[in-house]
Chain A
Amino acid sequence: MSDPFLTFGRLLMLVFAPIMLVTPLIFALLVPNRTTDDAGRIRAGSRMLALSLATVALLAIWLGLVLLGSRFPGALLIANFWWVWFFPLWFGLAVPAIAARNPFWSGAAATGSEANGLRTASLVNREKRSPVTRAMWLIPIAVYLLFLGAIAARGLMPFPAGTYPGDSAADPAAAKLAYAAAERSRWLLALAVYGGVFGLLLALLPRSLRLTLTESEPLGSKGSVELAELYDRQRRERVLGLFWGSGVLLPICVGLFSTLQLWFPNFGSLWGLVGDIGGSLLGIAGAIFGVRMTIERAKIAELRFRMNAP
């Protein structure tokens, strides 16, 4: 009987590629068009056309590989990894298309001199105005210690808990020993990786937040309350997003996944699926957060451009 989780996982891998391929085009189409002259419109149009044609071509090749996959398994394997074309599509075609459609999204329009060479800055020490309070730091510390403890505690129990489902080794005793050794190694690796990586992340996070608090926030030639409020809102979201995302959500996801895998190894395909979906959702959440920050930066860039216009 086939494993339903494996089937579902394979299906996910199949739809993942086309989703990744169309994402740059959809994103570029959703960016507001702010071209102001014919040259800009032509440039934006030609870049969007290039992106569209490349997307269609890659999708057609992917479909061909999937259809061939019924006869040649290698073709299906290539189709499953066809999503990597997302990166050249995004960086090579989508980003220039977005920049042509809306320069505020690329950050190019945000720089440049204010009117009359005047520059204004706030005298508020933003390092001391973090939305992350001292008490809040207890949360990521507690999360880290909780999952580190849960992972470490597995070492107190003997390896293994049982045989691998579907195991039909000729020599069950030797298979059990090999499996026990593999499980122990996996435990040590999980402990070292989680303890080391997330310990380091936790140690570096306060500095990262301080740096993001003191990112450049020019207030134009005369200073603007509206601009200052936009900066405040964006900074607050950025800092809180970084704190909750990197400091809490990511360690919870990875810690939970590692703990479940170690304590219940007999449900390997289920945890694989959980890892796939969880990791994808985390990635999507990160992308949504990043896009939201880009939108906010574009609003700020647009406002500064309007303020600095002669």
Chain B
Amino acid sequence: MITISLTSPVPLHDQLVHGLRDLIAAGKLVEGDELPPVRQLAADLGINLNTVARAYRELTAAGLLASARGRGTVVIATTERAHGPKGEDRKRIEAGVTAVLNDAKIAGFSREVIETICNRQIERLWKQSP
């Protein structure tokens, strides 16, 4: 299942992309799994077709999904295509993690709390992934 929030400041298609990426990272969507058609998911979530189509396109461009006539949209990989030179991906992830940790420190969270949160997520993602 996937959940979106209509009251979140995050755009809907971003929520979909992040939600699907989370499911792939957690091993709940694996290679070969079929996703529902754009029309079905849009109807179920009560959102525009184009929002779902855009999310699917983004994940297809990242190399995680593929559309085939007669088969629909399928998960084809659980690691995405590299965006550029090898080191670039690591720099991008490190920048993202740094930004989140900055936010957490400024919000007043202690080191222990952050470590607990991080360990829980690592446990969830790396334990469940094949």
Q: Which residue of B lies closest to A216 (CB)?
A: B43
Q: Which residue of A lies closest to B44 (CB)?
A: A121
Mark interface residues in A117-135 (1 if CB within 8 Å of B CB, else 0): 1111111111110000000
Q: Tell me whether A7 is interfacial, beta carbon within 8 Å.
A: no
Tell me the count of chain A residues lying within 8 A, CB to CB, of chain B.
23
**Interface assignment of B2: CB less than 8 Å from any CB of chain A:** yes
Tell me the complex Cα distance, A116–B3, Å. 12
Chain A residue numbers with a CB within 8 Å of B7 are: 116-117
User: Residue-by-residue, is B12-49 near A (CB-CB < 8 Å gives 1, otherwise 0)?
Assistant: 00000000000100000100001111011101111100
B113, CB-defined interface residue at 8 Å: no
> B1 contacts the other chain (Cβ, under 8 Å)?
yes
Beyond A119-B45, A119-B46, is A214–B40 a contact (Cβ under 8 Å)? yes
Asked if B5 and A223 make an inter-chain contact with CB atoms under 8 angstroms apart, the answer reads no
Determine the distance from Cα of A125 to Cα of B4 in the docked complex, in whole angstroms. 18
Q: Are B39 and A214 in contact (CB under 8 A)?
A: yes
Judge whether A121 and B41 touch: CB under 8 Å. Answer: yes
**CB neighbours of A122 from chain B (8 A):** 1, 36, 44
Interchain CA distance A263-B36 in the complex, whole Å: 50
> Which B residue sits closest to A213, measured CB to CB?
B40
Question: B residues within 8 A CB of A123?
Answer: 1-2, 23, 29, 35-36, 41
Chain A residues within 8 Å of B41, by CB: 121, 123
Main secondary structure of the interface of A (DSSP, over half): loop
Q: Does B5 contact A117, Cβ atoms closer than 8 Å?
A: yes
Are B44 and A124 touching (Cβ within 8 A)?
Answer: no
Which residues on the A side are within 8 Å of B8 (C-beta)?
117
* A125→B40 contact, CB < 8 A: yes
Q: Which residues of B contact A216 (CB under 8 A)?
A: 43-44, 46
Residue of A nearest to B29 (CB): A123
B34–A223 contact, CB under 8 A?
Answer: no
Q: Which one of A117, A127, A222 lies within 8 Å of B37 (CB-CB)?
A: A127
Q: Distance (Å) between the CB of B94 and the closest chain A CB?
A: 31
Contact in complex: B6, A121 (CB < 8 Å): no
**Does A215 lie at the interface of the complex (its beta carbon under 8 Å from any beta carbon of B)?**
yes
Q: Is there an interface contact between B35 and A118, defined as CB atoms closer than 8 Å?
A: no
Asked if A191 lies at the interface with its beta carbon under 8 angstroms from chain B, I say no
Q: Say yes or no for A286: interface residue by CB 8 A criterion.
A: no
User: Out of A113, A121, A127, A214, which one reaches B2, CB within 8 Å?
Assistant: A121
- Chain A residue numbers with a CB within 8 Å of B1 are 120-123, 219, 223
Asked whether any CB of chain A lies closer than 8 Å to the CB of B11, the reply is: no
**A215 engages B43 (CB within 8 Å):** yes
B5 to A128, Cβ gap below 8 A? Answer: no
With A119-B6, A120-B2 already in contact, the answer to whether A218 and B44 are too (CB < 8 A) is yes
| Interface contact B40-A127, CB-CB below 8 Å | yes
- Tell whether, in the assembled complex, residue B6 and residue A125 are in contact, meaning their CB atoms are under 8 Å apart: no
Q: A118 and B2 in contact (CB under 8 A), knowing A123-B35, A214-B43, A215-B43? A: no
Q: Which residues of A contact B36 (CB under 8 A)?
A: 121-127, 214
Interfacial residues of chain A within 91-141, with CB under 8 A of chain B in the complex: 113, 116-128
Question: A113 CA to B39 CA in the complex, in Å?
Answer: 20
User: CA of A127 to CA of B40 in the docked complex: distance in angstroms?
Assistant: 9
Which residues in A have some Cβ–Cβ distance to B below 8 Å?
113, 116-128, 214-219, 221-223
- 9 CB contacts below 8 A, A to B, read A119-B5, A119-B47, A120-B3, A121-B36, A123-B35, A125-B36, A127-B36, A219-B1, A219-B44
3 tightest A-B contacts by CB? A121-B44, A117-B6, A117-B7
